[in-house]
Chain A
């Protein structure tokens, strides 16, 4: 599914990712953990196509197709979804309008007709019920005045509507109380499927209690310093990150 080979990326001349390689198989859930400033969010943004970062080497492919050549919207239409750490508030842009425009842009890319208004509403309501979201959110401005938990649920709602091949969820657990965390995890788990790969970017092991990953990687200093199964996350929770940083430097 996702193949990252020897990826290096910098911002403002400072290299953040160094020669990073990672493979995520179809249907797998991977967790990328690491201390603050290790490059986790940069990796997520580079995959989604943010042009603030300059890719200085390496490749990123999705089912063999080069992603780095594509604009962010082309990647999204091809099935890459980025759940933002800080979802953006867009006053005046109606949530339902955005969801529908997004779904239709993706459908047009696949050569399908626009979604019927009735079908759209039915689908949106179904997905919102899954996430325990009130329908009134459809008619509000995108993330406008939403609480932290509401914003993260809204991200997962967008993911549920777009049904991506690859979802990268950046710090989806940050700023959530336990109920919101459970609701978000429930939504993500419901979207697990043999055709869909999910990459969870997280600082803490907490999220992984609710979404069990197949693989765990530790990112430090812009590269992956250790990979393992879910027991690695538990080990990190007990020992912190410092021993790995030392191991990487030594």
Chain B
């Protein structure tokens, strides 16, 4: 059987249900396109052949009935569980003001414009649709737990969530990615977030997968009139990680701010692509990503100010700390401006710790390792403190500290 046939067969095994037609269409599409390759500009530095290898191995012995497995993180939230790609209906707790439905039972319009979206649909056992009702202020964060567990057989999992935040509502969303088990895992996750007029979303994407895991994830945001988004992304895990954050501003007054911190140890590859489309003005977007790198990282931040989007204010910054001579960063800010009256800025830096500051701290009695650790920590926390969800703060602080200690400690060896 060819790989396309295996994909079609797997898609069939997942039905029959309300998604059957979509799955078979998506499987056909993906059979033609396949994975993105490094010949494509958007994928120049990130080679997905390992994701392809894991997928092929998983399809060889495809199972639709994987037992659920998860462990709730120590963060206070209404947790919704997606284990090995399957929403755990039994674990769905009711949340005041939020309607929760399975995609197979909901009336939704799913896109077919990207190969990875096709792969996602073709192998999607099911997804979730959340509707935050107009005017509701949800009492505590809604957590989406993507938990993958595989001990022996390679695992490929798809996650799909659609979140509609209706007019004037306000919600905090945590997207949490983690794994268990030694087998190779590839997760492909799509989240669509629609923020209607005057609504507000605080969002934290926390990725702490194991160091052999592969992840491709995409969050697409549509921002309504005077909508507000505060987004923070943290990546410490994964062997190969690619995140896309795509924000579309088609109504005036939107205010979006997104910040991220990525740690890439030796052997890790972390790629963050962001894109903001300012279709109208005035609107405001601001992003800052910081990286601490021993392995490889990619940051590509694109802001497009379309014709007529006057009054746009778009700022982007990316700062990288290289912790080893073999560390590599491909950083690319891109501003495309087709409007007249705009305020845009971008800045990218790549460097090492300021040796003058290290010496300064040593003259204040701190030993060299302590000085380097303190400065690296301060660099990381400078952006981690902008995580907009207080319930995550303790977890983020201690997780970043542990990850940094692991990254710095290897220097001593």
- Contact assessment for A49 and B362 in the assembled complex, using a CB-CB cutoff below 8 Å: yes
Per the bound structure, the CA–CA distance linking A141 and B378 in Å amounts to 10
- Contact assessment for A73 and B354 in the assembled complex, using a CB-CB cutoff below 8 Å: no
Per the bound structure, the CA–CA distance linking A162 and B364 in Å amounts to 8
B89: CB under 8 A from chain A?
no
CB A247 to nearest CB in B, in angstroms, measures 35
B357: CB under 8 A from chain A?
yes
B-side contacts of A81, CB under 8 Å: 363
CB A35 to nearest CB in B, in angstroms, measures 24
Return the chain B residue nearest A76 by Cβ. B365
Contacts A91-B378, A92-B381, A93-B378 given; does A50 touch B359 at CB 8 Å: yes
- Contact assessment for B365 and A106 in the assembled complex, using a CB-CB cutoff below 8 Å: yes
CB A14 to nearest CB in B, in angstroms, measures 20
- Contact assessment for A98 and B375 in the assembled complex, using a CB-CB cutoff below 8 Å: no
- Contact assessment for A102 and B366 in the assembled complex, using a CB-CB cutoff below 8 Å: yes
A-facing residues in B373-413 (Cβ within 8 Å): 374-375, 377-379, 381-382
CB A103 to nearest CB in B, in angstroms, measures 8
- Contact assessment for A102 and B364 in the assembled complex, using a CB-CB cutoff below 8 Å: yes
- Contact assessment for A73 and B375 in the assembled complex, using a CB-CB cutoff below 8 Å: no
Contacts A90-B375, A92-B379 given; does A73 touch B360 at CB 8 Å: no
A-facing residues in B327-376 (Cβ within 8 Å): 354, 356-357, 359-368, 370, 374-375
B-side contacts of A103, CB under 8 Å: 365
A210: CB under 8 A from chain B?
no
Contacts A90-B378, A92-B378 given; does A82 touch B363 at CB 8 Å: yes
CB B179 to nearest CB in A, in angstroms, measures 31
- Contact assessment for A101 and B366 in the assembled complex, using a CB-CB cutoff below 8 Å: yes
CB B377 to nearest CB in A, in angstroms, measures 8
A-side contacts of B374, CB under 8 Å: 93, 98, 101
Per the bound structure, the CA–CA distance linking A88 and B354 in Å amounts to 10
- Contact assessment for B382 and A92 in the assembled complex, using a CB-CB cutoff below 8 Å: yes
- Contact assessment for A72 and B382 in the assembled complex, using a CB-CB cutoff below 8 Å: no
- Contact assessment for B368 and A71 in the assembled complex, using a CB-CB cutoff below 8 Å: yes
A16: CB under 8 A from chain B?
no
- Contact assessment for B363 and A90 in the assembled complex, using a CB-CB cutoff below 8 Å: no
A-side contacts of B360, CB under 8 Å: 84, 87-88, 90
A158: CB under 8 A from chain B?
yes
Return the chain B residue nearest A81 by Cβ. B363
A-side contacts of B370, CB under 8 Å: 101, 105
A17: CB under 8 A from chain B?
no
Per the bound structure, the CA–CA distance linking A84 and B356 in Å amounts to 11
A-side contacts of B368, CB under 8 Å: 71, 73
B-facing residues in A184-201 (Cβ within 8 Å): none
CB B324 to nearest CB in A, in angstroms, measures 21
Mask: chain B, 227-240; 1 = CB below 8 Å from A; 0 = not: 00000000000000
A-side contacts of B357, CB under 8 Å: 88-90
A128: CB under 8 A from chain B?
no
Identify the interface centre among B361, B370, B377: most chain A CB within 10 Å of its CB.
Answer: B361
CB B353 to nearest CB in A, in angstroms, measures 10
A-side contacts of B367, CB under 8 Å: 71, 73, 105
Return the chain A residue nearest B356 by Cβ. A88
Per the bound structure, the CA–CA distance linking A77 and B381 in Å amounts to 28
How many residues of chain B are within 8 Å of chain A by beta carbon?
21
Return the chain B residue nearest A50 by Cβ. B359
- Contact assessment for A73 and B379 in the assembled complex, using a CB-CB cutoff below 8 Å: no
CB B53 to nearest CB in A, in angstroms, measures 41
Per the bound structure, the CA–CA distance linking A89 and B365 in Å amounts to 17
A48: CB under 8 A from chain B?
yes
Per the bound structure, the CA–CA distance linking A91 and B381 in Å amounts to 10
- Contact assessment for A71 and B362 in the assembled complex, using a CB-CB cutoff below 8 Å: yes
B-side contacts of A101, CB under 8 Å: 364-366, 370, 374
A-side contacts of B364, CB under 8 Å: 76, 98, 101-102, 158, 162
Mask: chain A, 141-173; 1 = CB below 8 Å from B; 0 = not: 100000000000000001000100000000000
Per the bound structure, the CA–CA distance linking A71 and B366 in Å amounts to 11
Identify the interface centre among B359, B362, B364: most chain A CB within 10 Å of its CB.
Answer: B364
CB B196 to nearest CB in A, in angstroms, measures 37
B-facing residues in A102-132 (Cβ within 8 Å): 102-103, 105-106, 109
A-side contacts of B354, CB under 8 Å: 88
Contacts A88-B354, A90-B375, A93-B374 given; does A105 touch B365 at CB 8 Å: yes
Among B359, B363, B375, contact of A93 (Cβ-Cβ < 8 Å): B375
Per the bound structure, the CA–CA distance linking A158 and B378 in Å amounts to 20
A-facing residues in B48-79 (Cβ within 8 Å): none
B-side contacts of A50, CB under 8 Å: 359
- Contact assessment for B366 and A105 in the assembled complex, using a CB-CB cutoff below 8 Å: yes
Per the bound structure, the CA–CA distance linking A76 and B356 in Å amounts to 16
CB B25 to nearest CB in A, in angstroms, measures 50
- Contact assessment for A91 and B382 in the assembled complex, using a CB-CB cutoff below 8 Å: yes
B-side contacts of A71, CB under 8 Å: 362, 367-368
Per the bound structure, the CA–CA distance linking A82 and B363 in Å amounts to 7
A-side contacts of B366, CB under 8 Å: 73, 98, 101-102, 105
B-side contacts of A106, CB under 8 Å: 365
Return the chain A residue nearest B360 by Cβ. A88
A-B contact pairs, 25 of them (CB 8 A): A49-B362, A50-B359, A73-B365, A73-B366, A73-B367, A75-B363, A76-B364, A76-B365, A82-B363, A84-B360, A84-B363, A88-B354, A88-B360, A91-B382, A92-B377, A92-B378, A98-B361, A98-B364, A101-B364, A101-B365, A101-B374, A102-B366, A105-B365, A105-B367, A109-B365
Which residue numbers of B lie inside 8 Å of A, CB to CB?
Answer: 354, 356-357, 359-368, 370, 374-375, 377-379, 381-382
The list of the 8 closest CB pairs from A to B, nearest first, reads A92-B378, A105-B365, A72-B362, A88-B360, A102-B364, A76-B365, A102-B365, A73-B362
Additional A-B contacts beyond A88-B354, A92-B378, A105-B366 (15; CB < 8 A): A50-B359, A71-B367, A71-B368, A72-B359, A76-B365, A90-B375, A92-B381, A93-B361, A93-B374, A93-B375, A93-B378, A101-B364, A101-B370, A105-B367, A162-B364
